[in-house]
Amino acid sequence: MKAPQTALGVGTLGAGIVFVWGALQLSSDAGYAGVGPNFLPLVVGAMLSVCGAWLVWEALAGGFRNMEEPSGAERGDWRGFAWVSAGILANAALITTIGFILSCTLCFVLAVRGFKAAEGQRGFSLPAVALDVVVGLAISAPVFWMFTQLLSIGLPGLTSTGWL
């Protein structure tokens, strides 16, 4: 029996049980398409419970088999972690001020910086940052427009037109 593997399975099973318990506390009144607000949390909780039970069984039956050796660095890269964390926190702090598109673009640029820092690419070049901004805009703008224009879901915008 391998204790860390068993603990992982027990934790996953516990998370599944918590999800199911929480979903049962929600209203089950059928809404759109005949399912209530507790349907998806119930499905997620049930699947987590099944996966957790399976992980516990695997750990108790001899451990996870055919596992590859871990790849990557032996320790985490704190600079990369800091960049990605800064991107997420900046997005949360600025989304209502500068709008969804710009805050998500900033989050993307900072996250890319973090991933590049974790790979050992410490240099900053203007063309690379400009490319990251363009890609971030190319991802966040269509998502914003899809939610606001096609699905009529309000996301914070920079202007009141619904396009920025």
pLDDT value for 31: 61
Check if the beta carbon of residue 28 is closer than 8 Å to that of residue 38. yes
- Only one residue has tokens 């997620």, namely 44
Q: Please indicate, yes or no, whether residues 96 and 55 belong to a single structural domain of this protein.
A: no
Taking only the tens place, the pLDDT of each residue in 34-90 is: 667 788 889 999 999 999 999 999 988 888 877 788 776 777 888 989 999 999 999
Q: Which residue has the higher pLDDT, 92 or 163?
A: 92
Using alpha carbons, select from 149, 110, 133, 134 the residue that is nearest to residue 164. 149
Q: Please indicate, yes or no, whether residues 44 and 82 belong to a single structural domain of this protein.
A: no
Inform me whether the pLDDT recorded for 14 exceeds 70.
yes
Q: Is residue 132 one of the residues assigned to a domain?
A: yes
* Cα 115 → chain centroid: 15
Structural domain that includes position 142: 78-150
Q: Please indicate, yes or no, whether residues 142 and 113 belong to a single structural domain of this protein.
A: yes
Q: Is residue 160 one of the residues assigned to a domain?
A: no
Q: Is residue 68 one of the residues assigned to a domain?
A: no
Tell me which long-range contacts 3-7 makes (C-beta under 8 A, separation of at least 24): 5/55, 5/58, 5/59, 5/63, 5/64, 6/56, 6/59, 6/60
- Only one residue has tokens 């990557």, namely 72
pLDDT value for 81: 92
Q: Please indicate, yes or no, whether residues 134 and 105 belong to a single structural domain of this protein.
A: yes
Inform me whether the pLDDT recorded for 1 exceeds 60.
no
Q: Count how many domains the chain has.
A: 2
Taking only the tens place, the pLDDT of each residue in 114-142 is: 998 888 777 778 999 999 999 999 999 99
Q: Please indicate, yes or no, whether residues 146 and 82 belong to a single structural domain of this protein.
A: yes
Check if the beta carbon of residue 43 is closer than 8 Å to that of residue 23. no
Q: Is residue 100 one of the residues assigned to a domain?
A: yes
Using alpha carbons, select from 48, 62, 67 the residue that is nearest to residue 9. 48
Q: Is residue 72 one of the residues assigned to a domain?
A: no
Looking at residue 67, the DSSP 8-state letter turns out to be: P
User: In which band, very low, low, confident or very high, does the pLDDT at 160 lie, cut at 50, 70 and 90?
Assistant: low
Q: Please indicate, yes or no, whether residues 46 and 95 belong to a single structural domain of this protein.
A: no
- What does the alpha-carbon distance between residue 13 and residue 159 come to, in Å, rounded to a whole number? 45
Q: Please indicate, yes or no, whether residues 88 and 143 belong to a single structural domain of this protein.
A: yes
Q: Is residue 155 one of the residues assigned to a domain?
A: no
Q: Is residue 48 one of the residues assigned to a domain?
A: yes
pLDDT value for 159: 64
Tokens of 27: 């209203």
Check if the beta carbon of residue 19 is closer than 8 Å to that of residue 41. yes
